[in-house]
Structure 1
């Protein structure tokens, strides 16, 4: 098997071109995040969790999430937060809340994405991120939490 080594800049450019080809840009990510977090705030399970942590300070959170998803989807390099500590400090979160979050995210993608490829592209990343955060917060499902 012939492996071609690419520089970080070549990989970054490939991701950016692929995102552009799918119709993913800052305007789409802004629409996705605004729509999704409006639904999160209205959700009977997730709304209270987010509102307890964020309160009336949604503007900075939305801006941070737009940078986060632009970095995830387009390799924009604008996010420099620490999501694991931000999530592990939360109280009142149940492992099943991640499925609610993913379901809302998928529905928002299906309602807003320019095409089905974008739904799959974001969901692959969202599921990986959710698994990572869930593991950080609750440990492996078959092992007791330390």
Structure 2
């Protein structure tokens, strides 16, 4: 059960970190003293993040209650499932956060925060074939 909590917290914390990073764009300013995003852009900035994380979070939370896959037959197999799920989840979320945070490193080059958010969602879609099945298999068959 502890491992399921850890993986669930990683997903929830990554979602919250992503939202905080996006929200920071409304308060921090570029080299010209203009905020990265204006408050009118809030919905346009939050929507892709919501669309990215909600399917994963719904699956994680749903699989807390249903188990469509058989549990691991051995303790070692369960450990391998968890290791694979946590590594893929961390890689996925680090990539998303890294791409969104590019605004802070490239702000003098006229980067657009909304474009970075959309690029992160696009990259996440490319990597979803790795993280979604692994997490579904882990959560859907894990009893611990």
Category of TM-score, reference length = shorter chain: under 0.3
Taking structure 2 as the reference length, the TM-score comes to 0.28
Compare CA radii of gyration and give the structure with the larger one: 2
- Structure with a larger share of its residues in helix: 2
Specify which structure has the bigger relative contact order, considering alpha-carbon pairs within 8 angstroms and separated by 6 or more residues: 2
Taking structure 1 as the reference length, the TM-score comes to 0.28
